[in-house]
A and B are shown apart, each in its own frame.
Chain A
Amino acid sequence: MDFSVDERGYYGKFGGAYIPEMLYPNVEELRQKYLDIIYEPSFQEELDELLRDYVGRPTPLYYAKRLSEKFNTKIYLKREDLAHTGAHKINNTVGQILLAKRLGKTRIIAETGAGQHGVATATVCALAGLECIVYMGQIDTERQKPNVARMKLLGAKVIPVTSGSQTLKDATNEAIRDWISNPEDTHYIIGSVVGPHPYPDMVARFQAVISAEVRQQLLYKEGTEFPTYVVACVGGGSNAAGAFYHYLNEPAVNLVAVEAAGHGVNSGLSAATSVLGSLGIIHGSKTLLMQTEDGQIVEPHSISAGLDYPGIGPMHAHLYDSGRAKFYAITDEEAMQGVVLCSRMEGIIPAIESAHAIAALHYMQLKPDDIVVLNLSGRGDKDLQTIINYLDEQDGK
């Protein structure tokens, strides 16, 4: 089976471009031009240079000795938390800002959940000298205050969204509405492998730098390019797409996607789309999403703003549907324990998003000779208040 996108933007039965006519010219322009632009030598050269000197790539592949001992296996952390702005999101925004400039766009919009994509977008807009507007759910602006402050400092205008669940889904709706109203000068930098074709493929290509580096780094450290497992958390799924990308057609490598179960998969407060979702259309893409039997989108829940999304990207839906990837669902509680575990055993405070992937290690049947690459997608500074509140509760304060 082939796991790459087809010409019409489908991964198996998932994908496509289900958009109103108002977005058609924009999306079509992008579809026609994105591959030619991305693979122009001058584009590649500029991108490589920025990834190296600005983002700080390659990010290290770190052998986590104490975690490895605990789980009696070999665990490597791909340190996307060390990329500029503190998460993998910058890989994509650097690529898209170069693309936007080549398309002649002067105004950038974005949506953000945890704020990592918003910060990454604000950062590259500052770098490129372009206007930046970031839509963020009102609830997320409150639980991710440090990132709101960073975006503002970087010169972005942050617009709190008060409709619906006031989280990532609604921020995305609002960004799409902005794009509809500004079709000529505006580029929408989508932050995950969601949205109409070509976004899922384009974002995956920009994030694929992660698995390209892992292959090289692992060859040097272990004498093989192929780990036993690649583990990554999935909200929309961009860090997982990047970590999986160069292993999609390598069946010996087990792909592990970790979703947010919130209060528990069957609690009514969850974001575990692979378990709770069904085939439908969200934000321009046919994929798996959480919905009622009438086709209304269900509001998700996760303690991590970045995983608080009712769908997954079409590539991930296909990986799930075909059995190519194994999916786990990790509760808020387990994720917080994952934060503590990684902090105290490795001296690395992970983003709550990434901590979902760490917590999944408990459920995997790991052997001593297995090589596990876990994509540590971001750092936890932005989550400090949530983490402190959790620890205080644990201490019974």
Chain B
Amino acid sequence: MENKIAQLFKNQSGPNLNVYFTAGFPELESTTTILQTLQEAGADLVEIGMPYSDPLADGPTIQQSNAVALRNGMSIKKLFAQLNNVRDTVTLPIILMGYLNPVLQYGFENFCREAARVGVDGLIIPDMPLIEYEEEYQAIFERYNLSAIFLITPQTSEDRIRKIDALTNSFIYMVSTASTTGNTVAGTDNQLAYFERIKQMNLKNPKLIGFGISDKKSFDLACRYAEGAIIGSAFIKVIQQPTGLQENIRDFIYLIKSGEEIFS
């Protein structure tokens, strides 16, 4: 069966909205509700963060959501239990994002087997080195039909981008700027030059721009250069509101995708 992420990009060249949220946040049991609401609201992909005590590449908003989720009792084991029947109701491509250490402690192959079993399509493990991927992990990803998604940044060399493009079969995660998560895309000349440069490289994989995408304006800007964009910290702020979880999610996604302000 073809991987759902590949299918998505085959059928739809953009603009795709990928939404990140932390499993177990704001409540331990909110994972499925958020997934279903995102699907109804019109998100195109979802990225579920596996909380970690020391999320190096993330800014304060996501770090804080990780800490809350861990306090709530979230773990990889728990997440797989929550995702057990998720494919009965959710057809969106699902990506798991998390740091390598908890995955290693779970057992890398066990982790991939379970991920595939519950219907996960791809993994983002930002601190998994490319060289270790090629030597140790690629065969396991392929055995379970999981896409490995890699990041590129404004500093990534052309050679390395080409190599990542060759190793990927879903999309390239294009970090918008040198920063951790939770800042804002400023649309500076440097940034636009970087977006343009990558666009001109005619990579075989589609690209999603992430880090600093927080609203309709930054989403649209990113989609001029890539097949879509990823929203994380801004969405975490939406779901941390104390009431109206589903309504808030629907409003936020509608706002990003259609641009009409419908908050009452």
Closest to A26 in B: B155
* In contact, A294 and B102 (Cβ under 8 angstroms): yes
Binds B, one of A61-69, A82-90, A169-177, A265-273: A169-177
What is the bound-complex CA distance between A6 and B106, given in angstroms? 28
| Contact (Cβ within 8 A) A181 B155 | no
Residue of A nearest to B179 (CB): A181
- Cα-based distance from A293 to B57 in the complex (angstroms): 23
Tell me the residues in window 10-65 of chain A with beta carbons closer than 8 Å to chain B beta carbons: 16-22, 24-26
User: Is the Cβ of B57 less than 8 Å from the Cβ of A22?
Assistant: yes
Residues in A251-286 with C-beta less than 8 Å from chain B: 279-284
Contact A25–B54 (Cβ < 8 Å): no
Q: How far is the CA of A280 from the CA of B102 in the complex (A)?
A: 8
CA distance A182 to B100 in the complex (A): 24
How large, as a class, is the contact surface on chain A? 20 to 34
Chain A residue numbers with a CB within 8 Å of B105 are 280, 291, 293-295
Q: Which of A25, A26, A176, A291 contacts B56 (CB 8 A)?
A: A176
Q: Is B120 an interface residue (CB 8 A)?
A: no
The contact of A25 among B67, B99, B104, B155, by CB within 8 Å, is B155
Q: Quick check: is B264 within 8 A (CB to CB) of the other chain?
A: no
Judge if A394 is at the interface, Cβ distance under 8 Å: no
A to B contact number (C-beta, < 8 Å): 100
Query: B155's closest neighbor in chain A, by CB?
Result: A25
> Is A348 located at the chain interface by the 8 A CB criterion?
no
Contact code string A163-192 (vs B, CB < 8 Å = 1, else 0): 110000100010011001111100000000
CB neighbours (8 Å) of A184 from chain B are 155, 178
Kindly identify which residue among B104, B152, B156 contacts A280, using a CB–CB cutoff of 8 Å.
B104
B53 engages A164 (CB within 8 Å): yes
Q: Judging by beta carbons under 8 Å apart, are B101 and A291 in contact? A: yes
Shortest CB-to-CB span from B151 to chain A, Å, is 4
Q: Are A20 and B53 in contact (CB under 8 A)?
A: no
CB distance A177 to B152 under 8 Å?
no
Contacts of A173 in B (CB 8 A): 54, 56
Q: Per-residue 0/1 for B163-188: is the Cβ within 8 Å of any A Cβ (1 yes, 0 no)?
A: 00000000000010011100000000
Determine if A19 and B127 form an interchain contact, defined as CB atoms under 8 angstroms apart: yes
| Residue in contact with A282 in the complex, picked from B67, B101, B152, B180, CB distance below 8 Å | B101
Tell me the bound Cα distance from A279 to B76 in angstroms. Answer: 18
Encoded as 1 (CB less than 8 Å from any A CB) or 0, chain B from 37 to 76 comes to 0000000000000001110110110010001001000011
Residues of the A chain whose Cβ atoms lie less than 8 Å from the Cβ of B246: none
Partner of B178, one of A180, A283, A295: A180
Beta-carbon contact of B129 and A25 below 8 Å: no
Contact B180 A177 (CB under 8 A): yes
Contacts of A280 in B (CB 8 A): 101, 104-105
Which residues of B79-127 are within 8 A (CB) of A? 99-106, 126-127
Bound complex: CA A271 to CA B157 (Å): 40
Q: Decide: B102 and A20 in contact? CB cutoff 8 A.
A: no
Instruction: Answer whether A16 and B132 are a contact pair too, CB < 8 Å, given A181-B178, A296-B53.
Output: yes
CA distance A16 to B60 in the complex (A): 27
- Is A340's CB within 8 Å of the partner chain B? no
Question: CA separation between A183 and B103, bound complex, in Å?
Answer: 28
Tell yes or no: A297 within 8 A of B by CB.
Answer: yes
Do B129 and A17 have beta carbons less than 8 Å apart?
yes
Determine the distance from Cα of A358 to Cα of B44 in the docked complex, in whole angstroms: 61
Assess whether A22 is in contact with B127, with CB atoms less than 8 Å apart.
no
Pairwise interchain contact B127-A281, C-beta atoms closer than 8 A = yes
A163 CA to B60 CA, complexed, in Å: 9
Chain B nearest CB: distance from A169 CB in Å? 7
B97 CB → nearest A CB, Å: 12
Q: Chain B's nearest CB lies how many Å from the CB of A63?
A: 44
- Nearest A residue to B131 via CB reads A8
Closest B residue to A178 using CB positions:
B180
Q: Which residues of B contact A17 (CB under 8 A)?
A: 129
| B150 CB-CB contact with A under 8 Å | yes
Expressed in whole angstroms, the minimum distance between the Cβ of A167 and any Cβ of chain B is 13
Question: With A21-B152, A281-B127 in contact, do A296 and B56 touch (Cβ < 8 Å)?
Answer: no
Report the nearest A residue to B127, measured CB to CB.
A18
- Distance in angstroms between the alpha carbons of A26 and B157 in the assembled complex: 12
Chain B residues with CB below 8 A from A177, complex form: 56-57, 59, 180
Instruction: Say whether B54 contacts A295, CB under 8 Å.
Output: no
**Is there a chain A Cβ closer than 8 Å to B128's Cβ?**
yes
Q: Which one of A19, A22, A163 contacts B129 once the chains associate, using CB atoms below 8 Å?
A: A19
- State the Cβ distance, B165 to closest chain A Cβ, in Å: 14
A-B residue pairs in contact (CB < 8 Å), sample of 21: A8-B131, A16-B132, A19-B129, A20-B127, A20-B151, A25-B156, A164-B54, A164-B67, A173-B56, A177-B180, A180-B56, A180-B178, A183-B178, A280-B104, A281-B101, A294-B75, A294-B77, A294-B102, A295-B104, A296-B70, A297-B101
Task: Enumerate the 7 nearest inter-chain pairs by beta-carbon distance, A residue then B residue, closest first.
Answer: A295-B105, A295-B102, A21-B151, A20-B126, A25-B155, A296-B53, A20-B57
7 more contacts with CB within 8 A, not counting A22-B178, A296-B52, are: A16-B132, A20-B57, A24-B156, A25-B153, A181-B179, A281-B127, A296-B53
